[in-house]
């Protein structure tokens, strides 16, 4: 185990860069509000920086970081208790378990999503990517695409369903 | 418990509501019920939420595509997702790229019906999916001064909007349009214009001044009786209510081709300093160039914009020199980073990126010039982790910052861990004084300037520098390139930024351990020598921002 953080700062940065999306996704599975999840990720990132000397190079960083994130989420549950999107304790635990079981599949799904996005027509892809840009929402996507908000909601529902089905199909073809 | 088709449809509806944050309490209970009982529902839920994060990741990537030949499809995608903060430089880069690499006319049609079979198409992937069609943006509204839309028009785009072909009418004020091919045009109202395509506009009424770089040669402006075609230049046109017009050429050349009232062709080629008057019958007459400003405020704004670009170019050159200087230990220019980047690049590029900083929490934002990057610190715990494992007897710290406010503890610039000997804290305190704190074996010594941040300096870019000289025993503070104060050093004989945090107090005594800077930093450097006032003045002058004053921007 290395205990010298300064010599390992490049390693830390590299690992955080590599796993940041997955860590956010892990937290969002447990706390589906994006802004709440980002706050928790920020707190988890601080702890990861502080505890990095405990991490052994070459072992599974994501798994190690998820443990920190898990406890950060647990600690944050009280803070977000009134949120509509905080699940009860039982659901929290079973979802956490399901997430762990699906990690490998989710990697495949992330890659497959790239292919499925390319299969969308230009108008739909533009709509969905604008919606998911940082700081954007359905209203922004509707305005950018010249749609009513109601129309944009419907279109996004259809697009997400198409993408989810497309990804499932791609993954099923990929894994015999 | 497995779900039937109807339940799966309902589950998707709930998940949609979940990600769009409009799930009712009843619907939440329903979702919880399924998630607790059905493994299938949990798997769909987990994959659905994960897909949302992946979509965000791909969406942000689509905005940060660089000019690389193998990424041509993404380049075109980039145009489609052009954003309010998109820098003009990026538009020009795209313009250069399109001009030199893409034949837009070769793009094929796309399928309007959702997911399509990619393999069934014989055209290359990028052609099939990224065809700019008529609905694609042709320009971006990037600046405005006193803009008031015509009461006749429903087309009232917000600042930063990507504009599609169509009518563009303004009652008064000025609008700056950046066309996708690279031309910049400032339109002054009252004006009635129509955006034709990414390199053409038609003017029925109003004044327009255009700057056309080489990549956009051929930019055209249709007038009532003819067309001005640019040959690489700066020019202006004015169209009057009765249909007469004037064309002025400031640099380079333009051609005017039109017809007169009898159908005879009218042709003029105008060089720099030449102008013509076209009457409402289409007949041209040479005209003297106007001695005053052609567009009033817009003209001033145009020059200001050009000035900003020149300044940015000069800064970039200086920036490269600084990064290459062996005395530069750490140099963050904050420029050219992707919007999702969690790393600040140390431009000195020494020791395999060991000087790179890890961004925690902060957001990327616009810096001193349009298109220049900066990091915004807006929340508690925002910070950049950096490490400079050196003990310095002589050093100069330099930063361009914009402070939004000074809290009870002031504004932290950079701090190292306080328990280390030579630990340093550089900040603006709550009184607006620039402060250098240095930990010695016994205590923390404080060297503070006079008040550098009166209230009117908040919200503006300010250049800060502090030098530490243990040889001559002086700490010098500089504000906007000028010596501001100097203090004699007591005992401190070195400083260190081991385990440093940019924009955060670390755990220095008597400070809120969560508190971060409230504002932005768009340049930060540490030099291993004591810089004199002349050198620091040069840094300030080269980096001094210019351009529109923010208070002149309309929302």
Write out pLDDT tens, residues B114-163: 333 333 332 222 222 222 333 467 888 877 777 788 877 777 787 667 78
Closest alpha carbon to B195 in B161, B172, B225? B161
| Alpha-carbon torsion (B86, B89, B95, B101), positive or negative | negative
Contact: B46, A134; criterion CB under 8 Å: no
Least confident of A115-129, B108-122, B168-182, B455-469: B108-122
Dump pLDDT digits (tens) for B236-295: 999 988 888 999 998 889 999 988 877 788 898 999 889 999 988 888 888 877 766 565
Contact: B358, A91; criterion CB under 8 Å: no
Chain A residue nearest residue B361, CA to CA = A42
Half-sphere exposure in the Cβ direction for B551 (13 Å, CA): 2
Chain B residue nearest residue A45, CA to CA = B360
Q: Which of A95, A138, A161 sits opposite B20 (nearest CB)?
A: A138
Helices (H), B356-398: none
Chain A residues within 8 A of B35 when measuring between CB atoms: 87, 91, 94-95
Classified as helix, coil or strand, B285 is strand
Contact: A162, B19; criterion CB under 8 Å: no
Cβ-Cβ pairs closer than 8 A, A with B, add up to 204
Q: What is the mean pLDDT of chain B?
A: 78
Return the pLDDT at B379: 85
Chain A residues within 8 A of B496 when measuring between CB atoms: none
Contact: B25, A84; criterion CB under 8 Å: yes
Q: Which of B80, B352, B381 sits opposite A10 (nearest CB)?
A: B352
Least confident of A124-138, B23-37, B67-81, B383-397: B67-81
Q: At what angle do helices B5-19 and B39-63 cross, to 10 degrees?
A: 40
Half-sphere exposure in the Cβ direction for B552 (13 Å, CA): 14
Which tokens hold the place of B278?
Answer: 């076209």
Are B252 and B233 spatial neighbours (Cβ–Cβ below 8 Å)?
Answer: yes
Dump pLDDT digits (tens) for B197-245: 888 999 999 999 888 877 778 899 999 889 999 987 889 999 988 888 9
Least confident of A76-80, B331-335, B493-497, B522-526: A76-80
Contact: A109, B54; criterion CB under 8 Å: yes
Helices (H), B430-551: 533-543
Return the pLDDT at B130: 27
Closest alpha carbon to B110 in B85, B87, B133? B133
Q: Which of A9, A91, A156 sits opposite B36 (nearest CB)?
A: A91
Q: Which of B49, B60, B135 sits opposite A25 (nearest CB)?
A: B49
Backbone angles phi, psi at B450, to 5 degrees: -70, 180
Chain B residues within 8 A of A84 when measuring between CB atoms: 21, 23-25, 28
Classified as helix, coil or strand, A66 is helix
Backbone angles phi, psi at B325, to 5 degrees: -70, 125
Return the pLDDT at B468: 96
Contact: A87, B114; criterion CB under 8 Å: no
Which tokens hold the place of A84?
Answer: 């509509």
CA distance B392 to B423: 11
Chain A residue nearest residue B45, CA to CA = A29
Residue A81 pLDDT more than 50? yes
Contact: B50, A25; criterion CB under 8 Å: yes
**What string of DSSP letters covers A125-167?**
HHHHHHHHSTT--HHHHHHHHT--HHHHHHHHHHHHHHHHHHH
Chain A residues within 8 A of B52 when measuring between CB atoms: 28, 34, 132
Chain B residues within 8 A of A49 when measuring between CB atoms: 358, 360, 385
Chain A residues within 8 A of B48 when measuring between CB atoms: 160, 164
Q: How many CB atoms lie within 10 A of CB B26?
A: 8
CA distance B34 to B46: 13
Return the pLDDT at A83: 57
Closest alpha carbon to B92 in B82, B105, B103? B82
Chain B residues within 8 A of A107 when measuring between CB atoms: none
Q: Which of A13, A85, A119 sits opposite B343 (nearest CB)?
A: A13
Contact: B358, A13; criterion CB under 8 Å: yes
Residue B414 pLDDT more than 80? yes
Query: What is the β-pairing status of strands B220-223 and B200-211?
Result: parallel
Per-residue pLDDT averaged across A112-139, rounded?
A: 88
Q: Which of B44, B112, B358 sits opposite A123 (nearest CB)?
A: B112
At a CB cut-off of 8 Å and minimum separation 6, what does A172 contact? none
What's the pTM?
A: 0.43
Contact: A126, B20; criterion CB under 8 Å: no
Chain A residues within 8 A of B135 when measuring between CB atoms: 123, 146
Contact: A130, B81; criterion CB under 8 Å: yes
Q: Which of A28, A98, A122 sits opposite B43 (nearest CB)?
A: A98
Chain A residues within 8 A of B162 when measuring between CB atoms: 144
Which tokens hold the place of B37?
Answer: 């009982």
Residue B399 pLDDT more than 90? yes
Return the pLDDT at B546: 55
Dump pLDDT digits (tens) for B297-337: 455 565 666 666 777 788 888 899 999 999 999 999 998 87
Chain B residues within 8 A of A160 when measuring between CB atoms: 12, 16, 19, 48, 51
Place of tokens 């804290």: B425
Return the pLDDT at B395: 96
Are B332 and B347 spatial neighbours (Cβ–Cβ below 8 Å)?
Answer: yes
Contact: A130, B389; criterion CB under 8 Å: no
pLDDT classification of B466: cutoffs 50, 70, 90:
very high
Q: Shortest Cα distance from A44 to chain B (angstroms)?
A: 10
Q: What angle do CA A22, A24, A30 make, to 5 degrees?
A: 105
Position with higher pLDDT, B499 vs B547: B499
User: CA-CA-CA-CA torsion for B153, B158, B161, B166, nearest 10 degrees?
Assistant: 0
Contact: A106, B112; criterion CB under 8 Å: no
B280 burial (CB, 10 Å; 0-12 / 13-18 / 19+) is middle
Contact: B23, A168; criterion CB under 8 Å: no
Contact: B47, A91; criterion CB under 8 Å: no
**What string of DSSP letters covers B147-188?**
EEE-TT-S--PPTT-EE-SEEEEEEEEEEEEEETTS-EEEEE
Chain B residues within 8 A of A9 when measuring between CB atoms: 354, 356, 358, 385, 387
Contact: A10, B354; criterion CB under 8 Å: yes
Q: Shortest Cα distance from A15 to chain B (angstroms)?
A: 11
Return the pLDDT at B300: 54
CA distance B415 to B495: 11
Backbone angles phi, psi at B277, to 5 degrees: -110, 130
Task: Choose, out of A15, A80, A91, A156, the residue to mutate when testing the contact with B (most B CBs < 10 Å).
Answer: A91
ipTM, interface predicted TM-score of the complex? 0.93
Place of tokens 């903060």: B85
Chain A residues within 8 A of B417 when measuring between CB atoms: none
For residue B20, what is the enclosing H or E element?
Answer: none
Which tokens hold the place of B204?
Answer: 């029925």
Chain B residues within 8 A of A28 when measuring between CB atoms: 49-50, 52-53
**What string of DSSP letters covers B543-555?**
H---S--GGGB--
Q: Which of B13, B51, B63 sits opposite A113 (nearest CB)?
A: B51
Closest alpha carbon to A33 in A103, A85, A81, A90? A85
Residues present in chain A in total: 176
Which tokens hold the place of B284?
Answer: 């041209």
Report the share of chain B in percent with pLDDT over 90.
30
Q: What is the mean pLDDT of chain A?
A: 84
| Cα B219 versus chain centre, distance | 25
Chain A residues within 8 A of B353 when measuring between CB atoms: 10, 13
Burial profile A135-174: b = 16 or more Cβ within 10 angstroms, e = fewer: ebebeebbbbbebeeeebbebbbebbbbbbebbbebbeee
Are B554 and B408 spatial neighbours (Cβ–Cβ below 8 Å)?
Answer: no
Q: Shortest Cα distance from A53 to chain B (angstroms)?
A: 13
Contact: B111, A121; criterion CB under 8 Å: yes
Contact: B51, A28; criterion CB under 8 Å: no
């Amino acid at each position: 185990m290395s205990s010298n953080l300064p010599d390992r700062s490049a390693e830390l940065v590299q690992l955080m860069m590599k796993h940041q999306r997955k860590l956010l996704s892990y937290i969002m599975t447990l706390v589906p509000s994006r802004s709440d999840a980002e706050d928790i990720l920020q707190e988890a990132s601080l702890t990861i920086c502080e505890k990095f000397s405990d991490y052994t190079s070459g072992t599974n960083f994501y798994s190690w970081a998820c443990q920190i994130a898990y406890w950060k989420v647990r600690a944050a549950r009280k803070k977000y208790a009134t949120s509509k999107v905080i699940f009860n304790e039982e659901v929290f635990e079973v979802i956490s378990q399901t997430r762990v079981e699906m990690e490998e599949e989710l990697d495949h799904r992330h890659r497959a999503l790239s292919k499925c996005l390319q299969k969308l027509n230009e108008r739909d892809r533009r709509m969905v990517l604008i919606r998911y840009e940082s700081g954007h929402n359905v209203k922004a996507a509707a305005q950018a695409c010249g749609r009513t908000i109601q129309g944009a909601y419907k279109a996004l529902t259809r697009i997400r369903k198409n993408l989810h089905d497309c990804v499932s199909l791609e993954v099923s073809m990929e894994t015999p | 418990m497995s779900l039937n088709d109807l339940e799966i449809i309902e589950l998707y509806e709930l998940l949609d509501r979940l990600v769009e944050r409009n799930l009712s309490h009843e619907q939440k209970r329903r979702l919880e019920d399924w998630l607790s009982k059905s493994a299938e529902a949990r798997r769909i839920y987990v994959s659905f939420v994960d897909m949302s994060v992946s979509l965000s990741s791909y969406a942000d990537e689509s905005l940060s595509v660089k000019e690389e030949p193998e990424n041509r499809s993404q380049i075109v995608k980039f145009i489609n997702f052009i954003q309010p903060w998109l820098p003009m430089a990026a538009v020009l880069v795209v313009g250069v790229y399109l001009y030199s690499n893409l034949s837009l006319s070769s793009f094929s049609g796309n399928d309007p019906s959702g997911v399509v079979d990619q393999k069934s198409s014989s055209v290359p992937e990028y052609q099939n999916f990224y065809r700019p069609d008529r609905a694609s943006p042709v320009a971006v509204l990037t600046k405005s001064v006193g803009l008031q839309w015509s009461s006749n028009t429903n087309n009232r785009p917000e600042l930063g909007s990507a504009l599609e072909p169509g009518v563009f009418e303004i009652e008064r004020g000025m609008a700056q349009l950046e066309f996708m091919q690279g031309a910049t045009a400032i339109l002054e109202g009252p004006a009635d214009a129509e955006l034709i395509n990414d390199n053409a506009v038609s003017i029925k009424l109003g004044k327009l001044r255009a700057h056309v770089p080489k990549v956009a040669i051929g930019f055209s402006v249709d007038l009532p009786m003819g067309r001005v075609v640019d040959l690489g230049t700066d020019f202006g046109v004015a169209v009057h209510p009765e249909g007469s017009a004037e064309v002025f050429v400031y640099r380079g050349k333009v051609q005017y081709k039109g017809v007169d009232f009898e159908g005879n062709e009218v042709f003029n080629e105008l060089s720099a300093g030449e102008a013509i008057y076209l009457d409402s019958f289409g007949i041209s007459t040479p005209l003297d160039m106007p001695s005053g400003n052609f567009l009033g405020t817009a003209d001033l704004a145009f020059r200001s914009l050009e000035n900003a670009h020149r300044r940015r170019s000069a800064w970039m050159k200086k920036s490269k020199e600084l990064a290459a200087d062996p005395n530069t230990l750490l140099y963050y220019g904050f420029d050219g980073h992707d919007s999702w980047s969690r790393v600040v690049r140390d431009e000195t590029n020494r020791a395999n990126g060991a000087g790179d900083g890890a961004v925690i929490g902060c957001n990327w934002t616009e810096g001193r010039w349009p298109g220049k990057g900066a990091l915004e610190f807006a929340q508690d715990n925002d910070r950049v982790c950096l490490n400079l494992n050196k003990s310095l007897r002589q050093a100069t710290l330099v930063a361009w910052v914009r402070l939004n406010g000074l809290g009870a503890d002031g504004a932290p610039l950079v701090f190292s861990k306080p328990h280390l000997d030579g630990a340093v804290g550089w900040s603006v305190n709550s009184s607006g004084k620039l402060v250098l704190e240095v930990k010695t074996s016994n205590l923390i010594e404080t060297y503070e300037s006079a008040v550098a941040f009166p209230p009117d300096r908040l919200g503006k870019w300010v250049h800060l520098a502090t030098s530490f000289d243990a040889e001559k025993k002086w700490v010098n503070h500089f504000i906007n390139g000028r010596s501001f104060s100097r203090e004699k050093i007591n005992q401190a004989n070195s400083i260190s930024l081991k385990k440093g945090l940019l924009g955060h107090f670390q755990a220095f005594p008597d400070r809120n351990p969560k508190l971060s800077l409230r504002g932005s930093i768009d340049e930060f450097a540490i030099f291993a020598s004591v810089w004199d006032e002349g050198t620091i003045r040069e840094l300030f002058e080269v980096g001094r921002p210019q351009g529109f004053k923010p208070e002149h921007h309309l929302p």
